[in-house]
Structures are given as structure tokens and as C-alpha cells.
Amino acid sequence: MANKRLIETAFPLRQASAASLHEKNMRHGHISTLHLWPARRPLAASRAAIAAALLPDPSEDEARKTLVRRLGGGLKAKKQTKADAGKKVDTTKVEGDGGILWWGQENLPDMAWFREQIRSAHGGRAPRVLDPFAGGGAIPLEAMRLGCEVVANDLNPVAWFILKCTLEYPQRLAGQVLPLPTHAMRDASFATTFLKAQGLKGVRLDQAVARMTALGRGERVQDDLLADADRPWERAGLGWQVRAWGNWVLEEARRELALRYPTYAHWQNFDPGTPVESKPLHLLPHDVPTDESAAALNAGLSASDLLNPKTPRWVARPTVAYLWAKTVPCKSCRATIPLLKTRWLCKRDDKRVVLEMAPNAANDGVVFAVRGGVPEPTGNSAQRMAADKALGGGTMSRTGVKCPCCPGVMTMDDLRYEGRS
């Protein structure tokens, strides 16, 4: 084997950079969807670096260029038009032309060719790649795709579990089939999706879904709608097993967190140009499906009313996040003051949302409401900035804290005193 490696003399830098940037928009089936890992290495850059580090450097310039071209391919510009703030803007999109770095090229014949070349360069055997700080597993995953024997490790237990799910389980369980768990079989939505993927449709699909869900509920099915040899739920592969248990984890998490993340019904319509009167929110019960609760609130509306986007109706909207703020008691009225520098939640041209704040009934704290569709102020830049500051200003400023329940103002020394006490 030559002393020099390809990475020491040449590397498809532009192609790897463009493929890595393009990869950020790819989500379905990507390793990044398993867990949001910090400092994740792009798969395209990892694949290019590993291949270039394992392949010997050709002695001739023309052979080296050919190898780099086969690895990274080329780049081509594609013009497209997209909407930006209501206007059509012409942009240029960079796409790959050949190579093995772009998303979706993992199973091309060129990948097999590179595996063979890497094996030949190492005496006919698969080289061994060690990544002692593997993190999210991008480097060992690409090394395995290039036919290497991989040893990956990480001290973080979350990273260790990601590596097990990414590198070990798919390889060890590939090709194995097991019966689906009963909780997945009795889920009609999951059963329909699963059986559609098996090629069933029409009446045959409906019959299979009914039989699968009945078996999942533990019922005895007297009339065999499908032959014993045609029971697809008894031979589901790893992907469907992961989906089934992933749905179980999701439902269990929703059930346990329902009290912490309640669902409210909002009185609204689906036509932004039609105003709707404000009504208090309805807290929906956590132990009843939200669709049923919303349908009960909208029982007085006809089917044609619900099809009209201008008709107001109750819409279930779950709580997705909490906004936290430090608080301090007012030195004058002892009301609880949230320490906020701004009440703007989003301030873009196409989306302006502000947090409204008002004293509560006891005047010892505040209540909040989210106001969307805030109109943009008029005037010059300074006037618009001043209007937005007045509309979404918080309780804190450089001089101190203004109490929303009384005219009192607390200085920074008052804040330090309250903090110490």
C-alpha cells in the first residue's frame, strides 16, 4: 500500500460542503432524527473524509482527479422561484452531479466499488476504524457503509444508546421478523398504515384491519377473513417493531404528561381576514380524546358550517411549551412581578405575536394571554421601533422594574435586596 493517502493530496471539499449543507434539509430516515445531538458531524463530510483517508493516493494527477471526481462528483446550479414575504424571488440551488456524497446515494453501485477499492488497499480485508469519542455516530456509521469493521465508544450514556440503535441493532436484527405487539395490533390507525404497506387495499384492507384490531383486543375471530398463511402482523421487520414501540412510548408519555400539558379549546375560524369575537378558553379533559371533546363543543354547528372557513368553531390546541420568568415581590403592593425585558414572542413581517399581561382579580399578580396577528405600525423606522417597544415592552428596564399592579417602581438596589432576602 502506498505511504500517502488520498486525503493528503486531494479532497472534494466543495462537493462535501454542498452535500453537507443539503443534508440539513433531509429528515426522513436521517440519523439526526433519532436524537438532537450537539456538534453532529454531517454524513456527507464524514463519508468523504473516511474514504479519502483509507484510499491510497494515485501517483498520477489524472488518476487522482478521476478518483476525486468519482468520490465527490460535480456541482450544478438549478434556478428556482420561491415566495419570500409574498413576493416571488429567483434563487439558484446547488445540486450534486454524480459521486457518493449526496443524500440518497448510499445504495448506488459506486458505493460497492469504493468498498472493494478500500478492501483491496488493505490486503483484501476490511480495515478497522476506531472512534473513541463517537458522539452521535456519524463517523462510525459512514465507516460501516464503506465496509469497515468499526469500534465506537463514548462516555455519555445517551451517546452510547444512540450508537447501539444506529450501529448494532439494525445490523444484528436485519432480516429478522417477529409478531407485532398487541397494543400496535389494536390501534386501527397503525394497523391501516401497516397493512397498506403490505399491499392490501379496498375491501381486503378493511377486512384485514378489522381482523387485526380484533385479535389485538384479544377477541376470538370466528370467521377467518384471511388465510393462515396471509397474516402479515406475525412477520413484521425491525422497522415496524420500532414504529410500534415508538408509538407506545409516545402514548405513554402523553398520558403521563397530560396534566402538565393541558389541551384548551380556542374559539376561532380558519379565515385570517374574518374577525372573531373573543371567548374564554375551554380546558378539555385529559382522559378523553381531544377530537371527541372538540366535537362535543361544536355539536351545535352543522357539517356545512364546519366546512366554511369563516365559521367560528372550537379548535383543540395542546400546550406545547412553558415560558418561564423570574419573579420579585413589589416593594409597594407586594404583588408578584415577572421580570421580563420584552413581551414579544415573535416579531417578523409575516408573524407578529405578543404576550399580553394584566393584573389578576386579586391584584396580587398578573395573568397572561397570547395575542397573534399584531398589525405592523406605520411611520418611519424610529417611529415603528418606538411603537413596538411600547406595545411589547416588559417590566424591566435599565432603571429598574415597573410593577404592573401599582404605580410603584423598584430600583436595581431594591432587586438586589429582595434577592438577598
Q: Which of 173, 197, 220 is the C-terminal boundary of a domain?
A: 173
Q: Give the cell for residue 212.
A: 387485526
Final residue in a domain of this structure, among 148, 173, 198: 173
Q: Same domain for 168 and 26?
A: yes
134, part of any domain? yes
1 domain-assigned: no
Q: What is the dihedral of CA 369, 370, 372, 375, to 10 degrees?
A: 60
pLDDT tens-digit readout, 147-196? 999 999 999 999 999 999 999 998 898 889 999 999 999 999 999 999 99
Please state the length of the chain: 421
Total domains in the chain come to 4
- Whether residue 392 contacts residue 344, with contact meaning beta carbons closer than 8 Å, is answered with yes
Q: Rounded distance, CA 126 to CA 120, Å?
A: 9
| Residues with Cβ within 8 Å of residue 232, at least 6 apart in sequence | 194, 195, 198, 200, 208
Same domain, 199 and 117: no
Residue 407, all three cell numbers? 404605580
- Write the Ramachandran bin of 363: left for phi over 0, alpha for psi from -120 to 50, otherwise beta: left
Q: Answer for the pair 57, 64: CB distance below 8 angstroms, yes or no.
A: yes
Asked if 316 and 293 touch (Cβ cutoff 8 Å), the reply is: yes
Helix (H, G, I), strand (E, B) or coil at 266: strand
Check residues 261 and 224 and name the one with the higher pLDDT.
Answer: 261
Average pLDDT for residues 130-156, to the nearest whole number?
A: 94
- 271/292 same-domain check: yes
Nearest to 318 by CA among 270, 262, 267: 262
State the pairing for strand pair 74-84/313-318.
unpaired
Beta strands 366-371 and 336-338, pairing class: unpaired
Containing structural domain, residue 402: 327-420
Q: Which residues contact 114 (CB under 8 A, 6 or more apart)?
A: 51, 55, 71, 100, 146
Residues 364 and 410 in one domain: yes
The number of beta carbons lying within 10 Å of the beta carbon of residue 12 is 25
Which of 32-46, 217-231, 291-305 is least confident? 217-231
Task: Report yes or no on 96 lying in a domain.
Answer: yes
Let me know whether 157 and 271 are in one domain: no
Q: Indicate the pTM of the whole model.
A: 0.66
The answer to whether position 214 is within a domain reads yes
Range with the largest mean pLDDT of 138-142, 232-236, 299-303: 138-142
* Residue 396 and residue 284 share a domain: no
If one compares 289 and 153, the residue with the highest pLDDT of the two is 153
Cell of 193: 398504515
| Same domain flag for 99 and 239 | no
Does 135 share its domain with 37? yes
- Cα separation of 14 and 9, whole Å? 15
Which of 140, 173, 206 represents a domain boundary (last residue)?
A: 173
305 CB contacts (<8 Å, ≥6 apart)? 311, 313
- Check whether 226 has a pLDDT greater than 60: no
Q: Give the residue from 350, 279, 283 showing the smallest Cα distance to 312.
A: 279
| Identity at 82, one-letter amino acid code | K
CA dihedral 323, 330, 360, 287 (to 10 degrees): 40
What is the tens place of the pLDDT at every residue in 234-252? 889 999 999 999 999 998 9
Give the model's pLDDT for residue 258: 86
Q: Is residue 140 part of a domain?
A: yes
What is the per-residue pLDDT for 1? 46
The answer to whether residues 246 and 195 belong to one domain is yes
Which residues fall within 8 angstroms of residue 300, CB to CB, at 6 or more apart? none
Does residue 197 sit within a domain? yes
Determine, yes or no, domain membership for 215.
Answer: yes
Same domain, 10 and 136: yes
Same domain for 361 and 230? Answer: no
Are both 297 and 372 inside the same structural domain? Answer: no
| CA pair distance 330, 418, nearest whole angstrom | 9
Which residues neighbour 296 within 8 Å (Cβ) at sequence distance 6 or greater?
A: none
